[in-house]
Amino acid sequence: MKADIAEVLLDQEALQALCKRLGKQITEDYKGKPLLLVGILKGANVFMADLIRQIDLPVEIDFMAVSSYGMSTESSGVVKIIKDLDQTIEDKHIIVVEDIVDTGLTLHYLLDYLKARSALSVEVCALLDKPPRRRVAVDIKYKGIDIPDVFIVGYGIDYAEKYRNLPYVASLKEEAYK
C-alpha cells in the first residue's frame, strides 16, 4: 500500500491541527444551538471521528451515503441517496461534514436536499478543497485546507475502496491508478 504513495500532503500532526481549529470555530458558533453533524459516507468517516472530539458542545451525529449516477469517474451532479438520515431535522442546525470538495456537484445537490427538509440552518465543513476543479459554487463555511488538483487518498479517502486506513493524506503514484 505504502509503495503506491507519491507524496504525503498532510501528516497526522497537520490533520489534528486542522480538526482542532475547525472544532474550536464550530464550538464558538453553535453555543446553545441544537447541532447535528451529518457525515457523508464513506470518505468523511475518519475526519468526522476526529472533528467531533474537538467540539466542546452537546452535538448529535448522523450519516448519509450517496453515489453519483452513471459510469464516469467524474461526478455527474445527479446523486443517488443510498442511506438517508435517521431523523427529521426541522429543529436542528446542520453541518454537513465532507472529506473533499472537488466539482462541488455532490455537495450542491445535498445542500438543496437538506434545505428542502427545513433544517434551522445548513452549513458545510470540508477537510479538503480543490478550488480549480469547481463546476458549481458551494459555500464552505468551515474549511480545512486547499490542495492542488492531484488525486489523493488516505484518512478515510479511497481509490477503488483502498487506502482509507492510511493515517495521512497523500497523493498516489500515477501507476497506482492508471
- In the complex with ligand IMP, the residue whose CB is nearer, 23 or 43, is 43
Residue 98 binds ligand IMP, judged by CB under 6 A: yes
- Exposure string of 81-99, with b = 16+ CB inside 10 Å and e = fewer, is eeeebeeebeebbbbbbbb
Out of 55, 64, 97, 105, the only residue in the binding site for ligand IMP (CB under 6 A) is: 105
- In the complex with ligand IMP, the residue whose CB is nearer, 36 or 138, is 138
Amino acid making up residue 79 = V
Contact of residue 170 among ligand IMP, Mg ion, none (CB under 5-8 Å per partner type): none
* Interacting residue ranges for Mg ion, rule: CB under 5 A: 43
Report the C-alpha gap between 172 and 178 in whole angstroms: 10
Least distance between Mg ion and beta carbon 56 (Å): 27
Residue 104 binds ligand IMP, judged by CB under 6 A: yes
Annotated catalytic residue within 102, 129, 149, 158:
102
Contact of residue 89 among Mg ion, ligand IMP, none (CB under 5-8 Å per partner type): none
Binding-residue pattern over the window 158 to 177 for ligand IMP, x denoting contact by CB under 6 A? --------------------
Around Cβ 100, how many Cβ atoms within 10 Å? 21
102 catalytic per annotation: yes
Around Cβ 68, how many Cβ atoms within 10 Å? 18
Residue 151 binds ligand IMP, judged by CB under 6 A: yes
Alpha helices in the chain (DSSP H): 12-29, 45-52, 105-116
Sheet containing strand 35-41, edge to edge, reads: 79-83, 60-68, 35-41, 93-101, 121-129, 142-146
Residue 127 binds ligand IMP, judged by CB under 6 A: no
